[in-house]
Amino acid sequence: MPETTLGVDGMTCAACVARVERKLKSVPGVELVEVSFATHTARIVHEGAPQELLEQAVEKAGYGIRELTPESDPSQVLLDRSTAKRADVILASVLALPIFVISMASHMRPEWVNWALGVLTTIVMASPGRGIYVTAWRNIRHKTTTMDTLIALGTLAAWGMSVYGLLAYRDMHSQSMHVYFESSAVIVTLVLLGRAIEAGATSAMSQAIAKLKKLTPELATRILPDGTHEHVAPSLLRVGDAILIRPGERVPADAEIREGFSALDESMMTGEPFPVERGIGDPITGGTLNGDGALIARVTAASRQSMLAQIISMVERAQGSKAPIQQLADRVAAIFVPIVLALAAVAFLGTGIFVQDWEQASIRAVAVLVIACPCALGLATPTAIVAGIGRAAELGLLIKSGDVLQRAAGIRDVLFDKTGTLTEGKPRLASLHLAAEAENENELICRAGALESASEHPLAKAILAEVQSRDLILPEATEVSAVRGAGLTGKIDGRAFTLSKPSPSEELDPLTERWIERERELGRTVTLLFQNKELLGGFAFEDTIRPSAPAAITALGALGISSEMATGDHERAARSVARAVGISEVAFDQSPSDKLEHATHRRLAMVGDGINDAPVLAQAEVGIALRSGSDIAREAADITLIHHDLMGVPRALALSRETLRVIKQNLGWAFGYNVVMIPLAMLGMLNPMLAAGAMAISSISVVLNSLRLRRWKAKF
């Protein structure tokens, strides 16, 4: 079916996403709608619905259309939006601080000060706070209510009553007692602060997509039929085109090798730490890094159908499917707001009719709206989150946003990547095998080191690290070359040597066969050194287990959280690492889409470090990346472990549970406060000034409770 993608402007929360989806689904012929809050776009699958109708549906929902072009960069749009929201917070804070300080300092103020407070508050509401009132009006037009409706009602009521106080009590000492501008200014500023944090988190998520796109080189070398070369953008490559990939270049498109041999770094796709040898007939993936051999290949997939494009699409959809923080106040607003309005109306009409004092009636109605304005309710979640995120940073945990803490508190399963996560991602020489012809270990290592001295292969680095640790001097190797199927060949002192992986066609002695089988059972990679065709010995390499991994798995078990592992590596290596760290559930030979399946229908946390982990890190309920991992993994994840210590995983989840507990306490207090105070305001026992004071006390209580999180300590 045809697909149409629209840019959507004006969405501020999950409720906006739902409203746009409902309107688009009502268009005849629309089969599927996916609205992404991360990129502010809507993807519509339909049976030929005109784009004009789709755009009209978005506009009827109350949102704008943003033009999308091939050069459109959603991450830049979100970055600009985040920057604008930060500017709004700064302006509102600069204006609200003197309003609050002056209002609380004294109620015996000159009249001109009250007018100044009114002007400053009006600027806060009309400029940085304008979006709150625009959204509230949109809600009214579409017969819905949200947190914005409640905030707009309370702040406008306090502002309106304050303006009335300025005019009705001119030249009177009691004028300040009828002015409540600080309530409006402070509430608006706190709301803007929460939204700026949310926008920053959304912008950070979108950077993962931008960095994935940068894995494709800017230019590809296409070979024309006459043998000449031309440089073109990878997006212009077509299936069947011949391309040249030079040593050290990234592969511009999915292709099949026609000439040449090289070792490619495919860790972005498989997570496998060792480069993979590829030759004639082998497939190669766009975005992977070519080693030291030149390749000629035939393009097998256009840019939009490439594996890298699929990963980008998976990350975009995963991020779009995860709504930003949805506070409890938003969920109950549909019920709470009408009730508050009804109670305010009852207070107004009841006092006016039965007491015959319409000014007092107005004061009581405004007091109800001010007391119901969600100041403590609005502070309940963000103050706990700020304290929790601050404490997490002190523990070496970078948490992107508040909803991460809320989601992490419900985690019961954790899925770990293997390479670079449970392991260091750096092979080391784990075992040596000496054949009868070899003189000693040092000689064996020196010969292998001489052949590998010019190589950047991770296994070569492991051998050279062993040379350095033993303080050995390498002989000179000449005529060194890499031969497909034969490994590395060269001459040392005129004698021919070969360093290669064991081949099924080779006849080896029983002792060597048993050594190879034992090392493979341990998940290790084996290479053998020959002089001519005589075996001299073998090397076994392993990826070192991260020291903190076993303790982290144990700590997660103590929290009632189960641990699993998914890796692109082969079964033996996977099970060996799983046994070493204490994990029983293992999935091996996993592609990025295979890993994504684990998180699609389950609420689990994913811990990874590679580019291939980016889709599942974004899709998972909580994505956790190591600081040593790829930039893309860190951008797609929700939490980054600064110190490379996997104990950060159980600490993050335990801190999240404690933060959620504090949030529930705060919300309980905030709702309880409303239940008690609204009746008092209706009975005239609280005027708007006292209501604002009571609201301040409630807010302080919430803040003090949240600050307890700064002293939280892990039990492990």
Give DSSP secondary structure letters for 197-210.
HHHHHHHHHHHHHH
Please tell me the distance from the alpha carbon of residue 654 to that of residue 642, in angstroms, as a whole number: 17
- Sheet containing 255-259, strands listed edge to edge, beginning at the edge strand earlier in sequence: 229-232, 220-223, 242-245, 295-299, 255-259, 283-284
- Sheet containing 41-46, strands listed edge to edge, beginning at the edge strand earlier in sequence: 30-36, 41-46, 3-9, 64-66
Angle at 560 between CA 559 and CA 561, to 5 degrees: 90
**For the chain, percent of residues with pLDDT exceeding 90:** 28
How confident is the model over 398-412, as pLDDT tens digits? 887 777 888 899 999
- Beta-carbon contacts of 612 under 8 Å, excluding residues fewer than 6 positions away, are 267, 268, 269, 270, 271, 311, 568, 591, 592, 595
Q: Burial letters for 193-230: b for 16+ Cβ neighbours within 10 Å, e otherwise?
A: bbbbbbbbbbbbbbbbbbbbeebbbeebbbbeeeeeee
Token pair belonging to 674: 């409303």
**For the chain, percent of residues with pLDDT exceeding 70:** 85
Please tell me the distance from the alpha carbon of residue 343 to that of residue 365, in angstroms, as a whole number: 8
Which pLDDT score is estimated for 331?
59
DSSP state letter for 144:
-
Residue with more model confidence, 630 or 64: 64
Neighbours of 66 (CB within 10 A): 16
Residue 253 · residue 285 · CB < 8 Å: no
Distance linking the first and last C-alpha atoms of the chain: 53
Residue with more model confidence, 644 or 209: 644
Token pair belonging to 121: 């508050």
How confident is the model over 59-101, as pLDDT tens digits? 888 788 888 765 556 666 667 777 888 899 999 999 999 998 8
Question: Does 333 have pLDDT greater than 60?
Answer: no
User: How far, in Å, are 90, 453, 553, 598, 662 from residue 716 at the CA level?
Assistant: 39, 44, 12, 28, 21
Helix (H/G/I), strand (E/B), else coil: 315: helix
For residues 138-159, average pLDDT: 77
Question: Does 292 have pLDDT greater than 60?
Answer: yes
Please tell me the distance from the alpha carbon of residue 460 to that of residue 539, in angstroms, as a whole number: 11
Q: Which domains does the chain have, with CATH numbers?
A: 3-70 (3.30.70.100), 78-208+323-384+673-711 (no CATH), 220-249+254-300 (2.70.150.10), 396-422+546-657 (3.40.50.1000), 426-544 (3.40.1110.10)
Q: How confident is the model at residue 705 (pLDDT cuts 50, 70, 90)?
A: confident
Question: 566: left (phi > 0), else alpha (psi -120 to 50), else beta?
Answer: beta
Helices 328-354 + 648-682 axis angle, to 10? 10
Question: Does 324 have pLDDT greater than 60?
Answer: no
Q: How confident is the model at residue 466 (pLDDT cuts 50, 70, 90)?
A: very high
For residues 671-700, average pLDDT: 75
DSSP-assigned letters across all residues of 545-591: EPTTHHHHHHHHHHTT-EEEEE-SS-HHHHHHHHHHHT--EEE-S--
pTM of the shown model: 0.62
Whole-number mean pLDDT of the chain? 83
Least confident of 38-42, 445-449, 532-536: 38-42
- The candidate with the shortest Cα–Cα distance to 297, out of 285, 308, 311, 309, is 285
Residue 315 · residue 615 · CB < 8 Å: yes
Q: How confident is the model at residue 350 (pLDDT cuts 50, 70, 90)?
A: very high
Q: How confident is the model at residue 484 (pLDDT cuts 50, 70, 90)?
A: low
User: How far, in Å, are 2, 79, 210 from residue 5 at the CA level?
Assistant: 10, 20, 18
Residues with catalytic annotation?
A: 417
